[in-house]
Chains A and B, each alone.
Chain A
């Protein structure tokens, strides 16, 4: 599953930052994962735990903040909440929607020990 590739990319980002600032260990990683993004948080935890073994982020705590999905509704002419892909506009029931937020997957910050 692709969460392994995502976890590997996360480790690269985290290690890169830690090395740049001379940190010896990463204790925690904060992620912002959109509700509409292509990742299963539990699978990501599993893969992150596996991929960080032997690295300076070994056993780092993974904090995942899920950000809500929103979409522009053409008929309503406004941004509405979108709980999942394929859900209708909560106001008017249309599917004429363009996703605005909720698809991103970002490493936000890390807690390091020197």
Chain B
């Protein structure tokens, strides 16, 4: 069990500045000789669920004898707060015609190299901005800036995924312009980011041919959450035992409508198709923004017309 999982004793940072942590709890952990992790605060008891239930059960019985208890309905999504912030991010993207993507994968799949080549080949078709997520360092943000994109680095410290609040904060630093492309490189992790909506248009899952072709079966949540699978490092196919057809078949078992593009960030193979997919998304985002502007303009024109009519019908003083 991971003890470094967003306990709040280390805060997330954006470009070196700390941001408000999602949770603030004080915990101090140590590992016993038997390999079990225990918290200092627990007063010698067990930290696992079973013993805690026993304690909770006993104390609940005591409480129900000594003080009245009642049931209160809540019926709220656990991630309601994250999802509300994600919705705000999504509205921002929609209002400004920003095509935002959440790039997810294991560490080492080639995400950052893919970004570097994408920035180069995009060649300023539209402005391109990047939000980088890593536990520590600004190495990835430095790399994409060197490639020519504006970037903001989020350091999660102990966190294993980006969340909507971190992205919202990053946007205040990054200030993406209208009709632009925004690529969010999530923390390298094929499990946790699947659960967290950042407000993106799509999650893009990146799998490299140096990983197992059965990854989609072993990590279904992530492939299920994605709309596009980028299969990277295809230049290495002659040297690895990776069954492309099988990987795609497995991925489509957990996500029937998954799009697939085969690429090599190293050689540029497949980049025509990847860039075409990006262009299509950017164009749709721009159209959506213009439609909403058109709708607003029509409404303003209607209201102005109505105002004129009412003025005309008011007798002069």
Chain A residues with a Cβ under 8 A of chain B: 1-6, 8-14, 17, 21, 23, 25, 27-28, 31, 38-39, 42-43, 45-47, 49-51, 53-54, 59-62, 84-86, 88, 95-99, 104-114
Contacts and interface: CB of A to CB of B under 8 A. Distances in A.
A86 B254 contact: yes
B5 interface: yes
Interface in B21-61: 22-23, 25-27, 39, 41-42, 47-49, 52-53, 55-57, 59-60
B70 interface: yes
Interface of B: 1-2, 5-8, 22-23, 25-27, 39, 41-42, 47-49, 52-53, 55-57, 59-60, 63-64, 67-82, 159-161, 163, 191-192, 194-196, 216-217, 220-221, 224, 250, 252-254, 256
B14 to A, nearest CB: 17
The 5 A-B pairs of least Cβ separation, nearest first, read: A8-B23, A38-B195, A45-B49, A2-B192, A85-B220
Contacts of A60: 56
Q: Of B5, B53, B78, B194, which is in contact with the most chain A CB atoms at under 10 Å from its CB?
A: B78
B192 A1 contact: yes
Contacts, number: 169
A10 B192 contact: no
Given A5-B196, A38-B221, 20 more contacts: A1-B160, A1-B191, A4-B23, A5-B22, A5-B159, A6-B79, A53-B39, A53-B42, A54-B25, A54-B41, A60-B56, A61-B53, A84-B220, A86-B216, A96-B256, A105-B78, A107-B78, A111-B69, A111-B72, A112-B70
Contacts of A6: 78-79, 195
Q: Of B48, B77, B217, which is in contact with the most chain A CB atoms at under 10 Å from its CB?
A: B77
B253 A95 contact: yes
A61 B60 contact: yes
B78 A106 contact: yes
Could you tell me the dominant secondary structure of chain A's interface residues? mixed
Given A53-B41, A113-B68, A4 B5 contact: yes
Nearest to B21: A8
A111 B22 CA distance: 25
Given A1-B5, A1-B192, A59-B59, A50 B47 contact: yes
A108 B73 contact: yes
A106 B138 CA distance: 36
B29 to A, nearest CB: 9
Given A4-B6, A6-B79, A60-B56, A85 B63 contact: no
A21 B72 CA distance: 9
A56 B199 CA distance: 32
B307 to A, nearest CB: 44
Contacts of A99: 224
A27 B6 contact: no
B72 A110 contact: yes
A42 B52 CA distance: 12
B150 to A, nearest CB: 28
A13 B76 contact: yes
